[in-house]
């Protein structure tokens, strides 16, 4: 018996302050030379995962630099200045959960 697997794309268009849909940036063709950011949501083990993933991305895919920023807790959003910094300096940002 074969099983059917359904995959969903979790990306959604951004929203401008007035509620209008923002234009999305195009997908990256490659990671070589790019800057990857991580937002650690302060759950156990995400920092370990992000550190290892960052090293793998540099070694295997040529990522130029990895930036790590940590939220004070999982229950609060990242500070506006953290979002602004990562938006300005990173080509892609990964946020995640650990446990």
What are 30-58's pLDDT values in tens digits? Answer: 999 999 999 998 888 888 889 999 999 99
Query: Is residue 14 in a domain?
Result: no
CA-to-CA dists, residue 56 to 5, 65, 90, angstroms? 28, 12, 17
Residue 4 lies in a domain: no
The DSSP annotation for 52-95 comes to: HHHHHHHHHH---EEEEEE-S-TTSPPPHHHHHHHHHH-SEEEE
Q: How many domains does the chain have?
A: 1
* 61 pLDDT higher than 80: yes
What is the domain range of residue 87? 35-96
Residue 66 lies in a domain: yes
pTM of the full structure: 0.72
**Confidence category of residue 15, pLDDT binned at 50, 70, 90:** low
- Is the residue at 20 inside a domain? no
- Does residue 23 fall inside a structural domain? no
Burial class (CB in 10 A: 0-12, 13-18, 19+), 63: buried
Q: Is residue 80 part of a domain?
A: yes
């Amino acid at each position: 018996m074969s099983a059917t697997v359904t995959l969903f794309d979790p990306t959604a268009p951004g929203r401008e302050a007035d509620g209008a849909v923002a234009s999305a940036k195009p997908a990256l063709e490659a990671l070589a030379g790019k800057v990857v950011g991580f937002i650690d949501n302060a759950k156990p083990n995400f920092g370990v995962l992000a550190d290892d993933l960052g090293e793998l991305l540099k070694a295997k895919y040529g990522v130029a630099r990895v930036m790590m920023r940590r939220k004070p807790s999982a229950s609060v959003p990242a500070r506006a200045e953290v979002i602004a910094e990562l938006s300005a300096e990173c080509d892609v940002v990964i946020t995640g959960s650990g446990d």
